[in-house]
Amino acid sequence: MCLRGLLLVAGLVLSSWALTPEECEPLVTPVSLADSSMIHGVTYFLAGYAKTNVSQALLRNCDSFWINVTESGPQNLVFAQFNKVNGSCTHSLFNVTVDVHTATGFFANITQSFHILPSSDHLIVVAINNTIRNSPIVNRRMKNIGEVPEEFINSSLFMLGRNATLSEVGPGTFGEAGELPRVLRRTTVPLQP
């Protein structure tokens, strides 16, 4: 009986630290891409999460990854993507169509749609959904890493920076990128390079 009471109290304390749905909503609501200039230029991959094993393996074996975004029309962008995975360099060039909150692109049997989440001047947070069907690019990148299914759907969350490393970004940037739970706002933990 004492253990139940302790677990109940611990659950109540821990749940009170979580953000409410109202507090979370501004952090997960995509920003408008009507002015896509916020994503123009070069950005570097800093951190990411992927849902599928294939994409997780790619992230683990990625030595470097950066993107250069340029405008090619009122609602069109060109993405030049450069990767070094397992010591092999690849380059992809593809067009993206922008529609208010969503950008969509297709290349090498990969369909991507993504949203930009609230970010800062130095960081861009991107939620990505893609469908990959027998893609030669993914197969080449996965060489010596693992098996690639004929078709898979992946969801990812990437943090891209205007600089190649976190030490260049600066510790204050994370506070600008999103709000932290009330408990964590009281603690200041500097980033170590």
pLDDT tens for 37-62 read 889 999 999 888 999 888 888 888 88
Average pLDDT, the chain: 78
Look at 15-19, 118-122, 157-161, 176-180 and tell me which has the smallest mean pLDDT.
176-180
**Structure confidence by residue, pLDDT tens digits, 163-192:** 887 665 555 544 444 443 333 333 333 333
Whole-angstrom Cα distance, residue 125 to residue 47?
10
d(CA 61, CA 45): 13
Please state whether beta strands 123-133 and 62-73 pair in parallel, antiparallel, or not at all (unpaired): unpaired
CATH number of the domain residue 129 falls in: 2.40.128.20
Higher pLDDT, 111 or 4: 111
Does residue 5 sit within a domain?
A: no
Vertex 168 angle, CA 91 and 27, to 5°? 80
Angle (CA) 18-20-22 rounded to 5° is 150
pTM listed for this prediction: 0.73
User: Alpha-carbon distance 158 to 154, whole Å?
Assistant: 13
Range of the domain at 77: 29-160
pLDDT of residue 53: 85
In a domain, 86, yes or no: yes
> Does 20 fall in a domain?
no
When divided into structural domains, the chain yields a total of 1
Q: 111-150 b/e with 16+ CB inside 10 Å = b?
A: ebbbbbbebbebbbbbebbbebeebebbeebbeeeeebee
